[in-house]
Amino acid sequence: MLLVLLMSLLCCVHAAKACLQCDRSIRLLHEDFVLSAPSVNDQIEIQKICDYAYVTYRETSQERKGVIDPTTLYRVRTEYQSEFHRFLKTQHTGSVTFEAIQIMEKGRKILEKHLDIFIQDGLCPNKCGLLKRRVMDCFSCRYQIYVCPSPSGQQNCGDYPVQAEEGGQAVLNCFLPWHRILLEKTEYHYSWAPGVPGTKKLNESDFKALVVTDDSSVVLNQLHVAQQGTYRCSLQGRNGTVFYRVTFHLTVAPVPDPTLRPVVTLPSPPHVDNYSTFHPEDLLVPLIAMVTAMSLAAIIGLTVVLGMMMSQRRATEEPTRRTERKNTPNT
Q: What is the pLDDT of residues 272-299, one digit of tens each?
A: 554 455 555 566 667 777 877 787 777 8
Question: How far apart are alpha carbons 66 and 59 in whole angstroms?
Answer: 9
26 within 8 A of 81, measured Cβ to Cβ? yes
Determine if the pTM surpasses 0.85. Answer: no
Instruction: Reply yes or no on whether the pLDDT at 7 is more than 50.
Output: no
35 within 8 A of 75, measured Cβ to Cβ? no
Confidence band for 9, pLDDT divided at 50, 70 and 90: very low
Q: For 307-312, what is the mean pLDDT?
A: 77
Measured CA distances, 184 to 9, 76, 143, 153, 242 (Å): 38, 27, 15, 20, 11
Question: How far apart are alpha carbons 126 and 103 in whole angstroms?
Answer: 36
Question: How far apart are alpha carbons 106 and 110 in whole angstroms?
Answer: 6
Question: How far apart are alpha carbons 291 and 127 in whole angstroms?
Answer: 91
Residues 156-253, CATH architecture:
Sandwich (2.60)
Would you give the end-to-end CA distance of the chain in angstroms?
A: 173
AA identity, residue 140: S
Residue limits of CATH 2.60.40.10 in the chain = 156-253
